[in-house]
Structure 1
């Protein structure tokens, strides 16, 4: 996972409530805007679909009654029917035109569009019904039912057209729809009764009687349920109409027909009261529908105001939250940045500077290196962290100073012990030389040589302690020393020197001040090469002048090192770490690295073609003395020149 700054995480945390607030405001605003568009859609549906559909139903009702009368009266009078059909065709054309406009298409759902198509298909089927009526090949009841199928399809259209989400408006629209349906059932009754009255003998067929038995109670139920669903303003005129004499008379005539299974005694009164009551219902349907549409428009206007209020308040709240969060985040980020800068200053500047001073043996003022961290922020926790971190910083610097003091003390102990051991070893080597000159027996001399090698290793270990303590490991001189002599002495100090093959080294001279340390460095590498390679193999030592100095290669034919370990060893040789008492397994590597750093020598471990390791020692140009030849230098005795083989 990609790293992220604390500032980013802090602002992300502060932005969460803002995002939630924006989401909530978007939801509320979207909900309110949705209601607005839903009401506007309902108003458009009323104007383009519901209103022309209601006009179509009115004309269908008139044509239905005219058709029933035409089928009943002898001889039939077709003038009224022709007029009715023209009016129906005009209403159907108007409905088809308005429902097919682009505006109507934008507000119709798939379900509403299917309902419109169903009404249009039913209207298209009227020609077949009209032909049967004209030819007298249908009954009065069948014709009424055929027209009823068309109006029923319109009422199913109404179910899809009522789309307002506001629950009160939806209840009023549903109530008016039931009343309109009740008006259609009354029209069907009127068509059957008017046709029966116009028939000679004035008789209702059995099927017509049974139809009226179903129509009358359904009409009353739909009318009462529809009126009861309306509020006081919409219901008032309907309450007056239901309490009127016309409504009571219609109910009485329906009851008489149902009870007697015959036309009422006052047949002429039905025509008048049915037309009067039906016309009153039609007028109320138009006025109440318009009033409901006005309410819808007003509600949409109210929603617009709510949108403005909600939008403005929400945006103001969000803007305030953003400003407050940004200000708080900036303050917190500033305080945290101060702590981060203090931590970076400790890690990158102060501690390295203290370590460097201690490494150079300088005194360190803890108070000056660990000043108090300024904590002027308003956040208590950050102030507490700042105080705690200031304590940690001071403790770290004090610990570094203490560790440096401890290392210096240990270095002095190592140096003192190494010097004593070195003196004893030198005396022992001198004594061995005396004894060797006095003995001539080969076996005894061989034992003395073995003892001499072991003593030489002891002397090298003592010099290694001196290197670890920071002191000089051996005697030095200002006279140049042949590199070949340095290599020869290093080979001679290795216990398994017989396994080391050293071809002639080109003429080159090494600065005498570095001769002892370079000899020790090469000895460590040769000892390591002979120790970690099979005893049957040889260790090759080669040297040559190169562009940047003199390169000496020590190649063994052992098992080598894994890549990761070899890279770690090279890193330690390039920049040897501080001596760690807990890590005593690689003291030879540490000694080589410290000697190399002392004189600017570069030591690199490479993979040998034979599978082992090739140690490349690059003596820098500053250690190589030019302008000398072996002949001019060979005349000097090493003892008089100040540099001797390390045995002394």
Structure 2
């Protein structure tokens, strides 16, 4: 194996050679050649696509301006025909300008500032048709005509100035000066048009016309005097000859005469202007061609330098890439091996270990976290692999230790809860025996309260068992009526008197699920009583549906927000692993675990009363055989106590203060009227056999259907009957009777 080298050395070798070669060669090429080449390419493209079509368009507009002024002055058919011909020429030049500037090369060569100027030119061109309409209708003066026809040339001049504004090469400086001299020619054409229109009307200039004429003449002279010295002597020669010629002298003499307010023949002014314009145009053409001839060798030399630099740079880049690839590929393979190992631990091994621990299977840390094989020849990569081995080993060990710790804590909670269950069950039996032996109604009422508190304590102990992963200790061998299960669940709630279980079909629940389902119902019912008004009813309804048995528990409280309800429904649908730190919603945790264990669907929904409704769907595998319907046997008259034997009842409903026989709510069912007789209650007679207590099925060798009662039984029966009768009367007067 090759000797290990520090990663700093390899990174330096990987980056130093490409960086040095690229910075040296390509930096030189960029600063010396690329900038000049790109400028030449850009300016050449702009001249072909914008400059040359723009010059043609400007010349056409100058001639149309002159003919439009003559037509406004004479309004003759011959002037109209000449103007129409020139308009066609201008339209063709305008169309060529649009086509050439709309190419992709022209758009890509323009800078953002040039695009703004170009859009200005196009807007001015679109307004040309409106100016023509004014000329045809004679609704524009000579000053307005000069202003409208100056918009496009002015915009073109601003666009041309941006084409070479940032170039400092001598060639571009000469081109910029030539552009200003060409703009002076446009000012001269405006002079000609203004004076031709005035002279065609055979009058002198008005004050506004004279002012505009003087401005145009002054600006033209200024541009020539300022830009001619900037031209090289060879390029300045054609314009110097023009300005010293008799043609130029003749034109300036007539110009001064007009400035003095005198009138000259229109034909003389037109002839002098045509002659000077021809000389001016020849000078511009000659200088432009001379600049183009000079630009060609310069561009060729620039591109030659760019090609040489590019070739040398290409060689350096290829060499750098080869070195970088050879060094970097080895380092990449080493780091890729470490990455694959890390991803395998994070995505495969660790989840597999956690799943085993969750199921309680044994885990061998040495097998699940094997050490990585040596990767490559880089010392730092070896160190990273060793550190990763230590990390994955510690992670596996920590996961196993945490699982053992959680299992130990859960086992401790489960053992403590089992002990509490055993003690509470013994306490319930003791309280039941004391209730049988007590004769004092007040003592019976207190014993009943203790019985109810103990039942609730037993439910909380069962909740701890369920949260710690255990199952309830109580079992039923046979199926139990669903209504009895719900009544038994309601009896385990503190405010059970507000819970109303509506009659339902004789559907039963399998005995193996009675304890856990009763606990699930009790948790939901208690939550409904806690978060509803003190006097509000919590209603329970149930019926068979297509997929099992549906139970609706509904309160009339303030309800909850939609976001909170959605969060609870998601938690109930897929309950997470129980977190001991979340102690504020243990009831929902118990409900979620029980629902997942038995495949029960629990859903919260808004109640039409403003509160919250809970729909519990029990699957079909939890339903037992329906309870058979027993025939109704009428009671004999001697078994019904006389109404006259009951104590007098006050005319106004009042709270019954005399203690009644306390009977646990989960051991009693609504009384049944048999025939036409009064209701009769027999202890545990109406409960499902599965819910009855074995030690109360027979007392003193007598069955529940015995014909004779002891004095204590008779007194309890009368007290219960009187209490139920008064409660029913109070509910009837309040509008709550069934």
In which range does the TM-score fall when normalised by the shorter chain?
A: 0.5 to 0.7
Equivalent in the alignment of 1:112: 178
Q: CA deviation at 1:504?
A: 1.0
Q: Is 2:35 aligned against 1:31?
A: yes
1:86-105 equivalences under 5 Å are none
Q: Are the structure 2 counterparts of residues 519 and 396 from structure 1 closer, same or farther at C-alpha, using a change threshold of 3 Å? A: same
Query: 1:13-52 alignment to 2 at 5 Å?
Result: 25-26=29-30, 28-33=32-37
Correspondence for 2:568: 569
1:31 Cα deviation (Å)?
3.0
Tell me the residue number matched to 2:450: 451
Would the alpha carbon gap of residues 304 and 447 (structure 1) be closer, same or farther in structure 2, given more than 3 Å must change?
closer
Closer/same/farther in 2, CA of residues 560 and 439 from structure 1, 3 Å limit: same
- Counterpart of 2:628? 630
Question: CA 1:121–1:529 in structure 2 vs 1: closer, same or farther (change >3 Å)?
Answer: closer
Aligned partner of 1:95 in structure 2 is none
Per-residue deviation, 1:571: 2.7
Offset at residue 25 of structure 1 (A): 4.8
The answer as to whether partners of 2:29 and 2:306 remain within 8 angstroms in 1 is: no
State the shift of 1:347 in Å.
Answer: 4.2
Contact 1:39 1:300 in 2 (8 A): no
Query: Aligned equivalents of 2:327 and 2:689: distance in 1?
Result: 77
Unpaired runs of 5+ residues, structure 2, are 1-14, 46-170, 189-220, 242-291, 633-683, 697-738
Q: How does 1:263-282 map to 2 (within 5 A)?
A: none
Q: Does 1:159 align with 2:236?
A: no
| Alpha-carbon distance in 1 for matches of 2:183, 2:435 | 128
Shift of 1:322: 6.0
Whether the 8 Å contact between 1:554 and 1:615 is mirrored in structure 2 is yes
- Of 576-585 and 536-545, more deviation after overlay is shown by 576-585
Q: Taking structure 1 as reference, are residues 120 and 346 closer, same or farther at Cα in structure 2, changes over 3 Å only? A: closer
Structure 1 distance, partners of 2:361, 2:450, is 44
Query: Is the contact between residue 33 and residue 306 of structure 2 (CA under 8 Å) also seen in structure 1?
Result: yes
Distance 1:112 1:344, change over 3 A: same
Q: Give 1:392-471 correspondences, 5 Å limit.
A: 392-471=391-470
Shift in alpha-carbon separation, 1:159–1:489, aligned structure 2, 3 A: same
Tell me if structure 1 keeps the 8 A contact 2:550–2:618: yes
**Partners in 2 of 1:365 and 1:31 — Cα distance?**
68
Offset, 1:598: 1.4
Q: Are residues 412 and 633 of structure 1, via their aligned partners in 2, closer, same or farther at CA, if it must alter by over 3 Å?
A: farther
Measure the CA separation in 1 of the matches of 2:360 and 2:686: 35
Pair 1:366 & 2:365 matched: yes
Instruction: Identify the range of structure 1 (495-504 vs 296-305) with the bigger mean alpha-carbon deviation.
Output: 296-305
**CA distance in 1: counterparts of 2:433 and 2:692, whole angstroms:** 18
Task: Give 1:324-339 correspondences, 5 Å limit.
Answer: none
- Cα distance, 1:451 vs structure 2: 0.6
In 2, Cα distance between equivalents of 1:120 and 1:556: 92
What displacement does 1:455 show?
0.6
Please tell me whether residue 312 in structure 1 is matched to residue 383 in structure 2.
Answer: no
1:332-374 CA deviation, whole Å, 9 max, x = no partner? Answer: 7666665555454444433332222222221111222223345
Contact 1:604-1:615 within 8 A present in 2 as well:
yes
Tell me which residue corresponds to 2:527: 528
Q: What residue in structure 1 maps to residue 274 of structure 2?
A: none
Q: In structure 1, list runs of 5 or more residues that go unmatched.
A: 1-13, 42-104, 123-149, 163-172, 185-292
CA distance in 1 between partners of 2:604 and 2:695 (Å): 28
Q: 1:118 to 1:550 in 2, by over 3 A?
A: closer
Flag the 1:531–1:486 CA change in 2: closer, same or farther, 3 A. Answer: same
Distance 1:416 1:545, change over 3 A: same
Cα deviation for residue 110 of structure 1 reads 4.0
8 Å Cα contact 1:475/1:643 also seen in 2 = no
Give the superposition deviation at 1:490: 0.8
Distance 1:32 1:511, change over 3 A: same
Aligned residue for 1:591, secondary structure, equals helix
**CA deviation string 1:271-292 (max 9, x = no partner):** xxxxxxxxxxxxxxxxxxxxxx
Distance in 1, matches of 2:571 and 2:184, equals 91
Aligned-pair Cα RMSD in Å: 4.9
For residues 197-596 of structure 1, what are the structure 2 equivalents within 5 Å? 303-318=302-317, 341-374=340-373, 376=375, 384-596=383-595
How many residue pairs match? The answer is 419
Query: Is the CA contact 2:174–2:231 (under 8 Å) kept in the aligned structure 1?
Result: no
Q: Quick check: 1:491–1:526 contact (8 Å CA) kept in 2?
A: yes
- Partner secondary structure for residue 579 of structure 2: coil
The 1:25–1:447 alpha-carbon spacing in structure 2 relative to 1, beyond 3 Å, is: farther
1: distance between equivalents of 2:426 and 2:186? 128
CA distance 1:373–1:493, change in 2 (3 Å): same
Q: CA deviation at 1:479?
A: 2.8
Please give the alpha-carbon distance, in whole angstroms, between the structure 2 residues aligned to 1:39 and 1:454.
97
Q: Deviations over 1:176-228 (max 9, x none)?
A: x9xx9xxx9xxxxxxxxxxxxxxxxxxxxxxxxxxxxxxxxxxxxxxxxxxxx
Shift of the 305–619 alpha-carbon distance from structure 1 to 2, 3 Å rule, reads: same
User: How big is the shift at 1:563?
Assistant: 3.0
When normalised by structure 2's length, the TM-score is: 0.48
Give secondary structure in 1 for the equivalent of 2:231: helix
CA-CA distance at 1:617 after TM superposition = 1.5
Once residues 579 and 155 of structure 1 are traced to their aligned partners in structure 2, the CA distance between those partners, rounded to angstroms, is 90
Q: Relative to structure 1, is the Cα distance of residues 300 and 542 closer, same or farther in structure 2, using a 3 angstrom cutoff?
A: closer
Distance 1:564 1:353, change over 3 A: farther
Q: Conserved in 1, the CA contact under 8 Å of 2:479 and 2:510?
A: yes
Task: Tell me the TM-score normalized by structure 1.
Answer: 0.54
Q: Is the CA contact (8 Å cut-off) linking 2:34 and 2:306 kept in structure 1?
A: no
Output the CA distance in 2 between the equivalents of 1:552 and 1:539. Answer: 13
Higher helix residue share: 1
Q: CA deviation at 1:379?
A: 6.0
